[in-house]
Chain A
Amino acid sequence: EDQVTQSPEALRLQEGESSSLNCSYTVSGLRGLFWYRQDPGKGPEFLFTLYSAGEEKEKERLKATLTKKESFLHITAPKPEDSATYLCAVQAKSGGSNYKLTFGKGTLLTVNP
């Protein structure tokens, strides 16, 4: 069964203090790994897709990286508006034509001014 574990569960940073979120996964053949941002009471907002080990994607202050067992979301010089829950999800090749996502529980990031 596919599994995703995110750490830490919660992270509190000062504005400008860079850090990383971790996503460890086990999957029977990775089709893709996804990062989402979720604000309270809203649906997840798509950030990145990573397909193979060594791949990196960047968007503003966020950078996602992928290895064969884990992914990191690096946040450089965060601002208060980056405060949100960040979700990691995997999509397995073994799903055939089902492209369902298996999510972790998320990391709640709080950035203080």
Chain B
Amino acid sequence: DTGVSQNPRHKITKRGQNVTFRCDPISEHNRLYWYRQTLGQGPEFLTYFQNEAQLEKSRLLSDRFSAERPKGSFSTLEIQRTEQGDSAMYLCASSPWDRQEQYFGPGTRLTVT
């Protein structure tokens, strides 16, 4: 396994701009999760995919956030009209259908100035 990969690793953007992050899960993992983590806090759930279907979205995910997982492989998370409060580490995780543990990627650190 090559592990979960995320790109970019760091993103600095100005308030009001749109940003998109990519996550490549471990191959053959059908479940994919997005979490957000701020300093001193544990990761918070944002959204979940089983294959290509988005099955749940957290209340944290405002209508400025959208996620996709076309063909059930990689996933993208887009934030429109970024705000300073969006500054955080965005983590992607994946898990296989027959096990519960989730494997996390290295994260994308977003800074909104």
Kindly list chain A residues whose C-beta atoms are within 8 Å of the C-beta of B41.
105
> Per-residue 0/1 for B75-103: is the Cβ within 8 Å of any A Cβ (1 yes, 0 no)?
00000000000000001010100001111
Q: Give the interface centre of B42, B101, B102 by most chain A CB atoms within 10 Å.
A: B42
A66 to chain B, nearest CB (A): 14
Number of chain A residues whose Cβ lies closer than 8 Å to a Cβ of chain B? 25
Bound: A49/B101 CA distance, A: 7
B48 within 8 A of A: yes
A84 to chain B, nearest CB (A): 14
B44 within 8 A of A: yes
Q: Which of the 9-residue segments A11-19, A39-47, A75-83 touches chain B?
A: A39-47
Q: Which of A43, A49, A91, A105 contacts B42 (CB 8 A)?
A: A105
- The residue on A at minimum CB distance from B102 is A101
Kindly list chain A residues whose C-beta atoms are within 8 Å of the C-beta of B109.
41
A101 to chain B, nearest CB (A): 6
Known: A32-B100, A97-B55, A98-B55. A44 touches B45 (CB 8 A): no
A72 within 8 A of B: no
- By size class, the interface of chain B is 20 to 34
A94 to chain B, nearest CB (A): 12
Kindly list chain A residues whose C-beta atoms are within 8 Å of the C-beta of B104.
36, 43-46
Bound: A42/B103 CA distance, A: 12
Bound: A31/B101 CA distance, A: 11
Q: Which of B31, B103, B105 contacts A46 (CB 8 A)?
A: B103
Q: Give the interface centre of A4, A46, A104 by most chain B CB atoms within 10 Å.
A: A46
Interchain Cβ contacts under 8 Å between A and B, 30 examples: A32-B101, A36-B104, A42-B106, A42-B107, A43-B104, A43-B106, A43-B107, A44-B104, A46-B104, A49-B100, A49-B101, A87-B43, A89-B42, A91-B100, A97-B50, A98-B55, A99-B33, A99-B100, A99-B102, A100-B33, A100-B45, A100-B48, A100-B56, A101-B35, A101-B102, A102-B45, A103-B43, A103-B44, A105-B40, A106-B42
